[in-house]
A and B are shown apart, each in its own frame.
Chain A
């Protein structure tokens, strides 16, 4: 891929918590582990900041980090209503990939994947980035054509994608029932550089990097109102008092409509719940991220041994962070159709997180009708993989006032202008990703 925007150079890391390395581990081990310091500082709010970011999840913390590191803007607060990292960034299936079809999506997510590849070196934080490959299976000839077209589109842009034959699928994932009676597997397509990332470490790593550069990370600070004067944002009302700001950025996917409504902005978003499941830990059986083509099901095996899997959203508007059983049944049915060997595996835990489902299945990184109010949202159920690129491009928008070239198509105005980015090609429904 032509690097539309060059990757940022490595930044010198000098943190209060010290440089993390093998030698540090050895030294602390020999000294009774007494030298470790908290990775980031829990700040108290100051009366005013240049930039206030609402939401201490992946995108909010990444935005703060890149604002400080790339643009030298450190007068920044990240406000989080609970503790950081316990929203969707800590509650997802940890998959990263850039195997999209629409070129703007491929470029954006490929930029994100490249940032993932250097994440640990840049942040000096072990996020267990594992490029184990993502394998999408197909079950019909039409689907093969569709995937071939998608893989070709990726390769035209210099992104890795490889066709995999039936025998190749058998070799990669012996568990797959290639000849299952309903949907025999004809083959697949592999993105070798796709994989998984330890999600909690992403929040902690960005928090550490931002905090060290002077960003205030303020927990237990729910935003209850957005104050405006003359059509311009002036600050936020919070559980810990009013905080003034020149720019306010909302990074609260799931709750974007609620926060935007505080400034009388209506969004092309509905909130839906997505469930995920983790099985009991078993010996290694699956070393790629696998997706089923005849139903909505994706699965990977965590380093602890549990199978982490999910499906589609439950399908109706809800803010309830729990799922209902019909989707659990559908996902379980897909799982045992594809991988009958898992039929007796027990589910260890289940959770539901709420998603900004945008009306074209693509995210929104945009100015809003209120001057100084910036939105990072609409991630549907694909926000995790986009965290580095989302943070970088949102920081660019805040710092320069103009959209980043890789996110210029993600503005709110695209809906009214008829330039929606509809990856699935299904029209204005908030169900797709």
Chain B
């Protein structure tokens, strides 16, 4: 069981959250060509190690969080609110 430190709700069980995948991929500009969209939609670094990822706290504050979590030890070293973590587009 992951215990995720939500900035609003405190440390909560993973079952309150929904995993939303890799947070390191960035949507290309609307005019970008197909190969850039291919990389965005399909290709993943899939690291063994630290992984930036989105978790939606559906069973709590409903905020989208950006975690840095280790994919072998499951240690969580950073949590940020998506709005603050994500650059404006």
CB-based contact B34/A416 at 8 Å: yes
A416 proximity list for chain B (CB < 8 A): 34-35, 38, 42
- For the residues of A in contact with B, the DSSP-based class is loop
CB-based contact A326/B1 at 8 Å: yes
CB-based contact A319/B48 at 8 Å: yes
Residue of B nearest to A315 (CB): B19
Q: In whole angstroms, what is the CA distance A218 to B67 when docked?
A: 40
B22's partner among A315, A317, A318, A324 (CB-CB below 8 A) is A317
A392 proximity list for chain B (CB < 8 A): none
Q: In whole angstroms, what is the CA distance A342 to B43 when docked?
A: 42
A164 proximity list for chain B (CB < 8 A): none
- For the residues of B in contact with A, the DSSP-based class is mixed
CB-based contact A326/B14 at 8 Å: yes
B74 proximity list for chain A (CB < 8 A): 318, 320
Residue of A nearest to B67 (CB): A316
CB-based contact A317/B46 at 8 Å: yes
Q: In whole angstroms, what is the CA distance A318 to B69 when docked?
A: 10
CB-based contact B15/A266 at 8 Å: no
A318 proximity list for chain B (CB < 8 A): 71-72, 74
Given A317-B46, A317-B71, A318-B74, answer yes or no on A324-B14 (Cβ-Cβ < 8 Å): yes
CB-based contact B1/A415 at 8 Å: no
B73's partner among A267, A271, A320, A359 (CB-CB below 8 A) is A320
Q: Contact residues of B with A, CB < 8 Å?
A: 1-2, 13-15, 19, 21-22, 34-35, 38-39, 41-46, 48, 51, 53, 69, 71-74
Q: Contact residues of A with B, CB < 8 Å?
A: 257-258, 261, 266-271, 315-320, 324-326, 359, 415-416, 428-430
- The 20 sampled A-B contact pairs (Cβ below 8 Å) are A266-B39, A266-B44, A266-B45, A268-B44, A269-B44, A269-B46, A270-B21, A270-B46, A271-B48, A315-B19, A316-B19, A316-B69, A318-B74, A320-B74, A324-B2, A325-B1, A415-B38, A416-B42, A428-B42, A429-B21
